Amino acid sequence: MGTLCAVFKISGCVMGSDFLLLWQVIVKDIEAKIGSGELAPGERLPTENNLAEHYDVNRHTVRRAIRELVMQNLVEVTQGRGSFVCRNRISMDYSKDIYAPSDVEIHLSRHGHGHDDAVRIEPATSQMATALQISQSDPVAVLDFEIRSTEGEVLALTTRTLPLDRVPGVLEAFENVGNLPKALEIVNVHHITRKWVRTRSRTASAEERAALSISVHTPLLIVGCLFVNRQAKPVLHDCSLFAADRIEVYSHNIPG
């Protein structure tokens, strides 16, 4: 049985030497499996005991290898669940406008149920009325979207709410062009800016886990933001539920 200080002879020249520490051999092997796709993003690694048996080393050596893989952002460890190949994270810049970045796509969807009721008119709730600075029960347009990667993976569930009195005709325009920013331009709402961005996290519901294909242990990252027009009147509230293991959210110089 090898130890942390043991070396393992391999063929070829690696980092200027024919020898690697045993934990480095494990790292190189798992790196190669991740690079080739043999270990897919989100896939669980074998247990420490199984890895130790596979590489004929002790568990301390396996733990050292896992620590290195974590430092390289190739593997993440979840307490009580094990080690997993890191998913490819997409960055979302909330200091920009409401257009989606090029590496994601936005699809109209009633949060996992297709187009049914994905666009609708509802009375404003008390919380939404406060955010949009309108009266409770005033009509608002509600649009549900799924944000997906270009590979089709659902990254977020997004709900956008607009006060109809401030954006009259926006739903008709949206139905014609299928794009909310363009629809706002059609109804002469130009140059909207984010007033604030607020973030929090919570446990996902069963329906949310199913829609995002996440486990019960994966938290939701909730990002809410408010857009205002040139007169500083709120015209759009955006609330997105992100799978926290697939996304990086950042913003600059926006009040929270």
Query: Is residue 133 over pLDDT 80?
Result: yes
Residues 167-214 have pLDDT tens digits of 999 999 999 998 888 899 999 998 888 899 999 999 999 999 888 888
Q: How far apart are CA 24 and CA 188, in angstroms?
A: 60
Please state the rounded mean pLDDT for residues 231-253.
85
Predicted confidence band of residue 256 (pLDDT cuts 50, 70, 90): low
Is CATH 1.10.10.10 correct for 7-85? yes
Using the predicted structure, report yes or no on whether residue 10 has a pLDDT greater than 50: no
**Burial classification of residue 51, based on how many CB atoms lie within 10 Å of its CB (0-12 exposed, 13-18 middle, 19 or more buried):** buried
The CB-side HSE value for 256 (13 A sphere, CA atoms) comes to 9
Separation CA 134–CA 165 (nearest Å): 9
Q: Is 183 exposed, middle or buried (0-12, 13-18, 19+ CB in 10 A)?
A: buried
Domain with CATH 3.40.1410.10 in the chain: 90-250
* Over residues 243-250, mean pLDDT: 79
CATH class of 90-250: alpha beta
Q: Work out the pLDDT band at 81, boundaries 50, 70, 90.
A: confident
Start-end of CATH 1.10.10.10 domains in the chain: 7-85
Computed from CA positions of residues 30, 36, 41, 47, in that sequence, does the dihedral angle turn out positive or negative? negative
pLDDT digits (tens, 9 = 90+) for 211-230: 888 878 788 999 999 999 99
Q: What is the percent of the chain where pLDDT is above 70?
A: 82
Nearest 5°: the CA angle 193, 195, 201 is 115
Q: What is the pLDDT, as a whole number, of residue 15?
A: 39
- Three-class DSSP category at 17: strand
Residue 148: the pLDDT is 83
Range 104-124 average pLDDT: 68
User: Which pLDDT band holds residue 97 (cuts at 50, 70, 90)?
Assistant: low
